[in-house]
Amino acid sequence: MNDQKQLANFVQHMPKVELHLHIEGTLEPEMLLTFAQRNDIALPYKDIESTRAAYQFNDLQSFLDVYYLGTLVLREERDFYELAQAYLQRCKRLGIMHTEIFFDPQTHLSHGVALEVVIGGIHSALKEAECEWGISSAMILCFERDRDAESTVSLLHEALRIGDIVGIGLDSAELGNPPRKFQEVFQRAKTLGLHRVAHAGEEGPPEYIWEALDVLDVERIDHGVRCLEDPRLVQRLLRERIPLTVCPFSNVELKVFPNLKSHNMGNLLDAGLQVTINSDDPAYFGGYLNENIISTVNCLERDFNDVVLLQKNAIEASFCSRDEKIGMLARLERYIASFKFVI
């Protein structure tokens, strides 16, 4: 068996953790069209082929336009439940043992969908997956940075009243929307003992990563690939061991890098940063977690040690308890010890 095949085989069955996944970004064309019909929502796509053909992006904004259009079909609790259930079924097939899921409540509220509907649907699917398949998960409420920050604190309190939110994040159009706009809600989240993450340094400059750390006091940076433009920032990320949740397919599809070969994942690893690989919006970017890991590692000519390091980083960077992390590390070690390498 050649090395690439063996590595793919190793990744397929390895117990994995995913830390950067927008549940709305798992809406596959088949489901999009089914929900549109069921909820009587008119879309500009007539079939699966024309839907997939529309998934061509020049940058983050052109993606967000398509992504938010897709969210229009999510109306009932059952839609959110089925969406999350489909992703968790995939997690089972992909060997994902723990996943931390983003959702965008402001979008759904703007469509007249109540917060209870969104959180209730996702939460039921997560609990079911935990009971049936032992997949653990956490929900992270994302605020959209291109919206007003005004009602975010009350939205956070409302969400906490409804369900199990472990933390908050910041997503959507980065350029022109610096993190500091959301200082108040991030401060409140910290007071409430919630975890904090933010998308920064995807399209935006390294200054946004500094601001996410200094002003929002985040514990992880989502994307963060532009940190390498600022050596002082790299020193800070190393010193404080701040994880980066990198999404290679997303970065290529949104033209942050022209192709996978020119992705800076290898440089991030070589710098000693705590990088992880994730799928972001897999229905739109052409692959789920395993494909992101396998293609990136093969394309950048990295090896088994890097795959294992990336997974150990993800376990450490997760918002699980110390005991849960020890359990996941032990599961990973058992898998490595039992894997039959063919020489």
Q: What string marks each residue from 243 to 282 as x (binds ligand HPA by CB under 6 A) or -?
A: -------x-----------------------------xx-
Q: How far is the CB of 20 from ligand HPA (least distance, A)?
A: 8
295 binds, among Zn ion, ligand HPA, none (CB under 5 to 8 A by kind): none
Cα dist. 92→129, 244, 260, 327, 340 in Å?
9, 24, 26, 18, 22
Residues in contact with 204: Cβ distance below 8 Å, sequence separation at least 6, in sequence order: 174, 175, 178, 226
Interface pick for ligand HPA out of 10, 35, 67, 81 (rule CB under 6 A): 67
Residues in the chain: 343
Beta bridge partners of 139: 101, 165
* Nearest residue relative to ligand HPA (C-beta): 171
- Active-site hit among 82, 144, 174, 202: 202
Question: In terms of Cα–Cα distance, which of 153, 42, 164 is closest to 106?
Answer: 153
Is 132 marked active-site? Answer: no
* Residue (21 or 86) nearer to ligand HPA, CB: 21
Does residue 199 belong to the site contacting ligand HPA (CB under 6 A)? Answer: yes
* Residue (113 or 307) nearer to ligand HPA, CB: 113
Sign of CA dihedral 201, 206, 207, 210: positive
Does residue 25 belong to the site contacting ligand HPA (CB under 6 A)? Answer: yes
The letter for the amino acid at 269 is: L
Q: How far is the CB of 104 from Zn ion (least distance, A)?
A: 10
User: Dihedrals φ, ψ of 139, to 5°?
Assistant: -110, 130
Q: Is residue 51 within 8 Å of residue 66, measured between CB atoms?
A: no
Q: What string marks each residue from 221 to 260 as x (binds Zn ion by CB under 5 A) or -?
A: ----------------------------------------
Question: In terms of Cα–Cα distance, which of 143, 240, 159, 151 is closest to 192?
Answer: 159
Does residue 172 belong to the site contacting ligand HPA (CB under 6 A)? Answer: yes
Question: In terms of Cα–Cα distance, which of 202, 253, 326, 313 is closest to 25?
Answer: 253
172 binds, among ligand HPA, Zn ion, none (CB under 5 to 8 A by kind): ligand HPA
Task: Give catalytic residue positions.
Answer: 202
Summarize as ranges the residues that interact with ligand HPA (CB under 6 A): 22, 25, 60, 67, 171-172, 199, 202, 250, 280-281
Summarize as ranges the residues that interact with Zn ion (CB under 5 A): 280
